[in-house]
Amino acid sequence: MSTATSGIGSICVFCGSSDAADPAWLSAAAQLGRLLAQANIRLVYGGGGVGLMGACARAALSGGGKVLGVIPEFLLDREGAVPGVETIVVQSMHQRKIRMFEEADAFAVLPGAIGTLEEAIELISWRRLGLHDKPIAFWNPDGFWEPLIALFDSFVERRLVPPGFRDCWMTVGEVDHLLPALQAMPTDVRVDQHMAART
């Protein structure tokens, strides 16, 4: 696998699996797939052929890019693999997340529902705990992720996490800014594990 000059050779994309999603978001997911192919960066994704993830995978594959899908066996009939994509079939959602994490150097989070949210939260939690230092960036069209970011900010304001928690991820307003943002994000961010008690 070729490695980008930034050291990022694979990017895992977390995103929705609904074909009924905003057509502009489906188009943007495809644009991201094409950009990854052009940059010779492998796409790692949830393995399905539906929604934003299917659009991203098909575009990356059509653009000559390398694509790896990871999907639980029970979702094969529901989401279907993209023909021509290397697909690893696992037995559980937990195995899927671990394998996707291991295969990726960085993570891009696009709009999605509860599954995307769960994947992103666990990833940020792991970074907060010092279990990894891989870059994480959210594409935030029309403020989609603002309620989540506001909740994260409240964690800091209420002294549940240190201010450095905000450096665990970043957001971008345009999908074509995701790759440059991930490449520029420092990996030596330190988030203190504990906070001093209020005096």
The one-letter code for the residue type at 118 is E
Q: In whole angstroms, give the CA distance from residue 91 to residue 5.
A: 35
pLDDT value at residue 81? 87
pLDDT value at residue 186? 76
pLDDT category of residue 188 using cuts at 50, 70 and 90: low
37 belongs to a structural domain? yes
Average pLDDT over every residue of 72-78: 92
Q: Is the pTM of this model over 0.95?
A: no
Here the CATH number for the domain that contains residue 140 is 3.40.50.450
20 belongs to a structural domain? yes
Domain count, the chain: 1
193 belongs to a structural domain? no
Average pLDDT over every residue of 112-119: 96
CA atoms within 13 A on the CB side of 63: 23
194 belongs to a structural domain? no
Spatial contact of 182 and 127, defined as CB atoms under 8 Å apart: no
Average pLDDT over every residue of 118-143: 95
1 belongs to a structural domain? no
Write out the residue range of the structural domain in which residue 17 sits. Answer: 10-182
